[in-house]
Amino acid sequence: MKKRKPTLLNFHNTENLTLFLDRDGVINVRLVDNYVKSPDDFRFTDGFLSGMAKIARLFKQIVVVTNQQGIGKGLMTIEELNNIHGFLMEKVALAGGRIDKIYFCPDLNGSGSLNRKPEVGMAMQARRDFPDINFRKSLMIGDSVTDLEFGRKLKMSTVYIDNGDLASLPDHLADYRFKSFADFSEWVIS
């Protein structure tokens, strides 16, 4: 279910495209009023693994950018988060997809952190690690206003995964809207 077609997916040469993904609500099922604190709590959203396997070859880099204030609240440690992310990356690879790197911000909402979305610190970290990232040839997929604002600040094309949490989303934030990452991946390959 697309809104308007930005130029990103019209490129004939897709080898320099970067995919930025939010985690909770896009990759895994968001836990309402709770945090994923172990691999046992982690449940992939329907169709994510197969969808990622279908489109991974289209992107030069695939990175996750995720706010994880559960660390800042003392509900989990960085080591526990790394275990979750190791589990995530292993399952994605076993399904035939890939994620090149995961960036996270442990800071609390309202902390003023430059790394916490919608601020762009995690994107700058990614570009330091992958110097050929061109934000104008990048796509940000998220399920919140802060995800889309993050993408817009960097002039990325944006995809909103409509999980039903937002009654309304400002039209200027999302270039595309889909019900799930699986729907997005089907549209991309069709």
Name the residues annotated as catalytic.
Answer: 22, 24
User: Alpha-carbon distance 16 to 127, whole Å?
Assistant: 13
Name the DSSP class of 24: B
Select from 93, 26, 34 the least CA-distant residue to 69: 34
What is the Cα–Cα distance from 64 to 129, expressed in whole angstroms? Answer: 13
Residue 173, classified by CB atoms within 10 Å of its CB into exposed (0-12), middle (13-18) or buried (19+), is middle
